[in-house]
Amino acid sequence: MVDVITPSSLSVDVVLPCLDEAAALPWVLGRIPSGWRAIVVDNGSRDGSAELARSLGATVVEEARRGFGAACHAGLLAAEAELVCFLDCDGSLDPAQLPRVVDPVAAGTADLVLARRRPVSARAWPVHARLANAVLARRLRARTGAPLHDLGPMRAACRERLLALGLGDRRSGYPLEMVLAASAAGMRIAETSVDYLPRAGRSKVTGTLRGTRQAVRDMRTVLAAPPPTLLVIAKAPVPGRVKTRLTPPCTPEQAAALAEAALVDTLHTLDTVPAGQRLLVLDGEPGSWLPPGWQVVPQTTGGLDRRLAAAFAFAACLAPTAPALLVGMDTPQLTARMLAEPLSPAARTGVDAWYGPATDGGFWALGLARPTAQLARQLLVDLPMSTPDTGAALLARLAAAGLTVALLPELNDVDTLTDAHQVAAAAPGSRFAGSLRSFDLTPEAAG
């Protein structure tokens, strides 16, 4: 192990996807910085790599599904540290240089750092692989604005931020999807230089023209998927206009404070979901509670059914080729992964719509893979709202339209004080839960 001092006391896990790398493992694991945990993800090795890694003190995770992304994501799910690094374990990159990518994240100056490979010899990086990488890096700079010149495998980020991205590719598109999703989620991306060495053995990807072509195809598929448009439909949290079913036992001011907390929780959660556009479809005026980066769109007149349809129509005009997903302001327990994973490019395949059922028979989310004003009207106009059968009626319309629907988790939205306590228990660290605790109202007060 190599001793290193980072600018933070944060813990670090190093994910090493592995397929027949026994020749390089002793050197790689021996140069992991002291105190950092090595997670070797064995992807079907036949050369004893898993057993060797265990004998050298690494944590070994078995991933039966073949693919670079499958191995990387299995390691991410197995990680427990605050910071996670990714590194090929073929000896082409020196683990002793990992602090170069970790330090900016630990210091809080970047959210995702990639290593820019600097070959130490001509044979370290085949010409065809270098050219393909340069083309993709150029497209990546144009797409994200991030100052990247390489899409190399050494990188570092906070584990929770990566999990919130909901990465879905399980092949060679995983590294590219991570960068695109991070950019779409507002993460700060940086690059630092490291040495690139001749690897031990032959690369499974860039070692052949066929492997390189497959990697380029995987990455083009990821590039072709537009980031979704996210919408939140809400009322401005004004006393007497929101959460009136909470009064009593709440005062109008307390109900408005809870509504504001729920709305802010929802907006901040959706800030971490990869998206091309974020729209707040608002009844009322925005206040200081509105975070940056959200476009405010006034709600149209009419019932909720027509206002929802109009919101989707606006999203379709704004980003015609992008999926659009709308949520309300009553589910502050919503997590980024609940939306990011089903909206990832890989998970979208064959999906026409997303539906989030509410426990009261309604729905808390609706998404359309190819939104149009006509489809939105067909699904929503004259749909009975706020009844125990609203969700069933919407599902029937989705089925009648011939749409394949992906179900999101069932959530409890906040209508009553009992609901509020159940939601706060599901998200105890939320602003909503803190606001509810400050009022010291028990569920029994509703009676």
The pLDDT score that the predictor gives to residue 6 is 52
| Model pLDDT, residue 218 | 80
The model's pLDDT over 367-412, given as tens digits with 9 standing for 90+, comes to: 999 999 999 999 999 999 999 999 999 999 999 999 999 999 999 9
In terms of DSSP bridges, do strands 37-42 and 363-368 run parallel, antiparallel, or are they unpaired? unpaired
Q: What DSSP character marks residue 248?
A: T
Q: Are 206 and 129 in contact (CB under 8 A)?
A: yes
Cα 410–Cα 415–Cα 420 angle in degrees, nearest 5: 80
- Identify the pLDDT of residue 47: 95
DSSP code string of 144-179? H----S---S-EEEEHHHHHHT-----STTHHHHHH
What pLDDT was estimated at residue 5?
45
Give the Cα separation of 111 and 178 in Å (integer): 12
Cβ atoms of 347 and 341 closer than 8 Å: yes
Class of domain 12-223: alpha beta
Contact 189, 110 (CB under 8 A): yes
Is the separation of the CB atoms in 413 and 362 below 8 Å? Answer: yes
Residue closest to 49 by CA, chosen among 29, 22, 23: 22
The pTM of this model reads 0.91
C-beta atoms surrounding 131 within 10 Å? 11
Q: Structure tokens of 405? A: 């629907």
Domain 12-223 shares a fold with domain 229-446: yes
What DSSP designation does 77 have? H
- Distance CA(263)–CA(267), nearest Å, equals 6
Helices marked H in 16-67: 25-30, 49-55
Helix 373-380 to helix 390-400 angle, to the nearest 10 degrees? Answer: 130
Half-sphere exposure (Cβ direction) of 225: Cα atoms closer than 13 Å: 28
The candidate with the shortest Cα–Cα distance to 233, out of 291, 170, 300, is 300
From the options 3.90.1150.10, 3.20.20.370, 3.30.70.260, 3.90.550.10, give the CATH code of 229-446: 3.90.550.10
pLDDT of residue 182: 98
SS3 280: strand
Q: Are 316 and 278 in contact (CB under 8 A)?
A: no
Long-range contact set of residues 282-286: C-beta below 8 Å, sequence gap at least 24: 282/234, 282/235, 282/236, 283/234, 283/235, 283/236, 283/307, 284/235, 284/236, 284/238, 284/241, 285/236, 286/236
Dig out the tokens for 186 from the structure. Answer: 């507002």
Q: Tokens for 67?
A: 């693919």
Q: Please give the pLDDT value at position 228.
A: 98
Provide the residue ranges of all domains of the chain, joining segments of one domain with +: 12-223, 229-446
Q: What is the pLDDT along the chain (447 residues), one digit of tens a residue?
A: 555 445 446 799 999 999 999 999 999 999 999 999 999 999 999 999 999 999 999 999 999 999 999 999 999 999 999 999 999 999 999 999 999 999 999 999 999 999 999 988 877 777 777 887 888 888 889 889 999 999 889 999 999 999 999 999 999 899 999 999 999 999 999 999 999 998 765 555 555 566 667 777 787 788 889 999 999 999 999 999 999 999 989 999 999 999 999 999 999 999 999 999 999 999 999 999 999 999 999 999 999 999 999 999 999 999 999 999 999 999 999 999 999 999 999 999 999 999 999 999 999 999 999 999 999 999 999 999 999 999 999 999 999 999 999 999 999 999 999 999 999 999 999 999 999 999 977 655 544
Render pLDDT for 120-172 as a digit per residue (tens, 0 to 9): 887 777 777 788 788 888 888 988 999 999 988 999 999 999 999 999 999 98
Query: Distance between CA 50 and CA 44 in Å, rounded?
Result: 9
Q: Would strands 112-119 and 189-196 be described as parallel, antiparallel, or unpaired? A: parallel
